[in-house]
Structure 1
Amino acid sequence: MQTQVLIIGAGVTGTGLARDLAMRGVDCVVVDKQDVNAGASGGNHGLLHSGARYIASDAAAAAECHAENRILKRIAPHCIEATGGLFVAVAGDDENYITDFADACRRCRVPVMAVEPKDALEMEPALSRRLIAAFAVDDATIDPFRLSLNNMAGARQAGGRLLRHHRVTGFEVHAGRIRHTRLRDEITGRDLFVAADVVVNAAGAWAGTVAGLAGAPLPMRCSKGTLLVTQSRLASRVINRLRRPTDGDILVPGGTVSVLGTTSARVADPDGVYPEIDEVDAIIAQGAAMIPELATSRYIRAFCGVRPLPGDGAAFADGDGDDRAASRGFLLMDHHRAPERLANFITITGGKLTTFRLMAEKTADLVCERLGVVAPCRTHCEPLPDATTERWTQPGLAPAEWWRRKAGGDLLLCECEIVPQSTVDQIVAGLGALGGRPNLNAVALRSRIGKGPCQGTFCSQRLAAYLYDRGHLAGDVGIEQLRLFLRERWRGQRPLLWDLPLAQAELLEAMHCGLFGLELD
């Protein structure tokens, strides 16, 4: 395969870069060893930062976040809920930090407004009665899956291509240039060689691994963040604890649920991370100090993502593995200027979900400089397309469409999130356009299936049966896909096994292991 630019990593930065380049007339291919948003882009709060969280630790990142917040609200409103946000302090919090907060926000050009505690309690009744200070900021929520899928849809409309389940296994380097990138098809086991004028490493927490394959050492550390999903939405706004960032200090509303987090734990390897019970306990204990209801809420899932933190040892916190002091800025490395002098290799990593568009723009500028392309960036002013087949991650959309049509025979496959057969048909059609066969995880990533209180107990088997009926699955393929789907759900349920989630897990085990025998090879 030949292309002008090969982009490694289909997270929000990689897909955003593909759209930017495609809009400038550059041919590009995006590859990922799994699927869209398989890394940190799919393992986060879904928070569109105002920048206020970083005013004390990283003023530059705070200013970048606020500028990009405004751009994204303008170009991608269909991916965003403009909730607004509150920073709140309770009795015992650092009064010096509280006193300096507003001035620090203004120095970083982050809008802020003081709110009387009694007014904050009227705005968000779930807040603690021990509230002593509150400030309103421009936080919002964003759907990271819809964002990346629409970025890729925009890229494909302009000629870009996506290869899912293709792992980079090596590079052929000659005379200071990457001549070929070797990919392994994770489904068929076949190798594919891609010749590209420029190779961009946008692999997030795996950027160091990919760079190492090219003989280009890239110092990085990986910070795991664990988050919890409540069964119901507990606040209408984003709620931040008014103190320096620590565990369990953000509650983000997302559709009908809320997401509570996060932690910061250094990990040696971004593969194989999972939420742990002690992290869950710490998050709930800290979160309950600002929202007491969190102590008794039902949680339906825990999940985690790995933050890529580039830089040398001096850029990181010492000793305890808490890397919150590390910059949330991004690293754009031109390896032509590095000791290894690879003329056509570029790495983009670090940053935030909120700053992905800026990261993509700066990377695209460098790529175009290498290619001699003079077309300017347009992603800051042209609306992000709202692709029809990529909109089903939005909570409440499928039920509204289903009730409006009330099509005869359009049966529900997921009752928790009201996902009918017609929605799955549209998603399968979109997957077919990518040249791949549908599977349970791919359909779930692009919809609300498996994200409700039952966590796939019922909808997984219904979806598998429907795909069999439609001829998309055959033989034992669907059984193995059920195992993989439920294994991922189980990772998020295991650290939450008390009260109703324990009963739910027992039901899942009885159905899928006792009845279907899925624990057997």
Structure 2
Amino acid sequence: MPGKKKFNTEVLIIGGGVTGTGLARDLALRGILCLVLEMETINAGASGRNHGLLHSGARYVSSDPVSAGECKAEGDILKKIAPHCIETTGGLYIAVKGDDEDYISQFPVLCQKAEIPCAPGSVKEALEFEPALTENTIAAFRVEDASIDPFHISLENMNQAIEHGARYFNFCKVIRFHVAGKAIQRVTAVNLLNRQIFEIEAEIVVNAAGAWSGEIAKLAGIHVDMIYSKGSLLITHNRVSGHVLNRLRPPSDGDILVPGGTVSIFGTTSLRLDNLDNIRPTVEETDILVREASAMVPELENIRYIRAYAGVRPLVSSQEEGRADGSGSDRSVSRGFSLIDHGADKIENLITITGGKMTTFRLMAEKTANLVADKLHNKNQCLTAITPLKSKAPTRMTEAGTAFRLWSGKGNTEDITLCECEMISKNQFKELIDWLKKTRKTSDLNALRVHSRLGKGSCQGTFCSQRVTGFMYDEDYLKDDEGIYNIKDLLRERFIGQRPVLWNGQLAQAELNEALFCGFYGLDFENPYG
């Protein structure tokens, strides 16, 4: 958190998603000082609200071959530099009865043309690999998809950048650009926690705010025409498949199932929004996703879901011109990225980077850093493709199942479990809290949620929030009524994602939550959306 009223840096990065943190790492490795401002927490936008799919490129071979090639190249790099953030599951493209046979037959041809590895497999073999697949499967192809932990990768980006001199402030919102001549002279921001106003002087300002890039550009009097395309996803109670499963048809609702640790995530929808005020999954979207996905994996019709969530794809309107199929769907907008030097808009030290996808974040950061370095006359080359993406921070706690493996390997048998769903012990929380206090000067339940699996299991924070809060009081990390507000904030955030999936087992869980937290904290008298 900023503790003074003025800061100086070479580069100010606005946005703490995977692109902003990736850019901070790239610049820091070149010896360029940078400061990252994030309005909420790391990956609060689309970077933390996606499948966690490391694309092989196969999804884009028909609509966007350039993006397909970028995915292939960048996926290979990430598997080398950040294997601890990736599960090399492999992927299957599955066609079911009724799917377009012309599209099925063209798929391997298009993959070959785009140089994306794709191997045909027998239906029998596919059903042996993945018993959850429907018996109506008529074709299967193997690709090099993988599962990536978005929070782990962004935390490693930012922590490695900090180790090389970068700075990071969260819950800080940019509210004004002070423009003189053809440059932003200084930036005014507000700390949303204590309302403190502060200023930053930077030689270069990079707008990496994702879907909010248009809003940031407005502060400089510049129009960036953004498309707000909301996508909702569901998280299952348990892991459904070993491979990434893709429906072999043109991109549509509920056609990707990604295994992530002990759960699976599937989606997504595509709904145009007029603004960014209401980014929430709905019951209607949940019904659509379950109906569509169960055609490929029938058990998804009745399985328990623990959460839904939604993100907004940061698409630039000008990319519509690159549509391959001429359709009116936002899915057909190019998933390439837009790098905009606003010198053409008479603001010579402002750059916007937006669009793209999780898989290509490193490339987006490299291209942006090249432009920044050129403006700063810095001749150092990009090192991110060859430097292991591994910081000294305790980031492994974001990975499902890691806490238990660490405890079983070297844990204290007298240690107690505070989070039973994710098997996180008291000493593991203590290590993380101590690190947050030392490096971030603060720690609360939401910070622990971002840096670990707290609140992400089937109880969604019902029990662990109280146990961890009690422990934090015991250790003097919290004082007075701070813990009550911590719990309320965490549960409010968790409830938004539970509401669309309240049936069967998760409804029973929600009724228990209601009995506990409405009785203890009076949450029934508060607006769950804040």
TM range (shorter): over 0.9
1:326 aligned partner, one-letter code: V
3-state SS, counterpart of residue 347 of structure 1 = strand
**Correspondences of 1:39-50 after superposition (within 5 Å):** 39-50=45-56
Is the 1:479–1:518 Cα contact (8 Å) retained in structure 2? no
**Correspondences of 1:150-299 after superposition (within 5 Å):** 150-299=156-305
Confirm whether residue 324 of structure 1 aligns to residue 361 of structure 2. Answer: no
Greater shift, 320-329 or 172-181, is seen at: 320-329
Q: 1 CA distance for matches of 2:297 and 2:183?
A: 55
Equivalent residue for 1:410? 415
Is the 2:159–2:393 Cα contact (8 Å) retained in structure 1? no
Q: 1 CA distance for matches of 2:296 and 2:392?
A: 39
1:366 aligned partner, one-letter code: L
Equivalent residue for 2:309? 303
2:35 aligned partner, one-letter code: V
2:17 aligned partner, one-letter code: G
Is the 2:231–2:313 Cα contact (8 Å) retained in structure 1? yes
Equivalent residue for 2:474? 469
Q: Residues 34-64 of structure 1: CA distance to partner in whole angstroms, max 9, x if unpaired?
A: 1111100100100000011111111111111
**Correspondences of 1:15-94 after superposition (within 5 Å):** 15-94=21-100
Confirm whether residue 348 of structure 1 aligns to residue 353 of structure 2. Answer: yes
Equivalent residue for 2:341? 334
Q: 1 CA distance for matches of 2:416 and 2:422?
A: 13
1:409 positional shift: 4.5
Structure 1, unpaired ranges of 5+: none
3-state SS, counterpart of residue 517 of structure 2 = helix
Q: Residues 319-359 of structure 1: CA distance to partner in whole angstroms, max 9, x if unpaired?
A: 9973001010000000012xx21010000000000000000
Equivalent residue for 1:421? 426
Cα pair distance change 1:60/1:313, threshold 3 Å: closer
1:26 positional shift: 0.3
Q: Residues 75-99 of structure 1: CA distance to partner in whole angstroms, max 9, x if unpaired?
A: 1100000000000000100001001
2:159 aligned partner, one-letter code: A
Is the 1:202–1:348 Cα contact (8 Å) retained in structure 2? yes
1:183 positional shift: 0.8
Equivalent residue for 1:130? 136
Is the 1:266–1:322 Cα contact (8 Å) retained in structure 2? no
1:481 positional shift: 1.8
1:246 positional shift: 0.3
Is the 1:6–1:29 Cα contact (8 Å) retained in structure 2? yes
Q: Residues 481-501 of structure 1: CA distance to partner in whole angstroms, max 9, x if unpaired?
A: 211111111111111111111
2:86 aligned partner, one-letter code: I
Q: Residues 253-283 of structure 1: CA distance to partner in whole angstroms, max 9, x if unpaired?
A: 0001100111001112234311100100110
Q: 2 CA distance for matches of 1:91 and 1:519?
A: 47
1:344 aligned partner, one-letter code: N
Q: Residues 279-337 of structure 1: CA distance to partner in whole angstroms, max 9, x if unpaired?
A: 00110111011111111111111111111001338449899973001010000000012
1:188 positional shift: 1.0
Confirm whether residue 142 of structure 1 aligns to residue 148 of structure 2. Answer: yes
Cα pair distance change 1:320/1:71, threshold 3 Å: closer
Q: Residues 420-462 of structure 1: CA distance to partner in whole angstroms, max 9, x if unpaired?
A: 1222222223322444311111101111111111111111111
3-state SS, counterpart of residue 226 of structure 1 = strand
Cα pair distance change 1:381/1:319, threshold 3 Å: closer
Equivalent residue for 1:508? 513
Q: Residues 212-231 of structure 1: CA distance to partner in whole angstroms, max 9, x if unpaired?
A: 11111101111111000011
Q: 1 CA distance for matches of 2:355 and 2:216?
A: 15
Task: Provide the alpha-carbon RMSD of the alignment.
Answer: 1.6
Confirm whether residue 101 of structure 1 aligns to residue 102 of structure 2. Answer: no
Structure 2, unpaired ranges of 5+: 1-6
Is the 1:198–1:367 Cα contact (8 Å) retained in structure 2? yes
1:347 aligned partner, one-letter code: T
1:162 positional shift: 0.4
Q: 1 CA distance for matches of 2:114 and 2:257?
A: 23
Is the 1:27–1:159 Cα contact (8 Å) retained in structure 2? yes
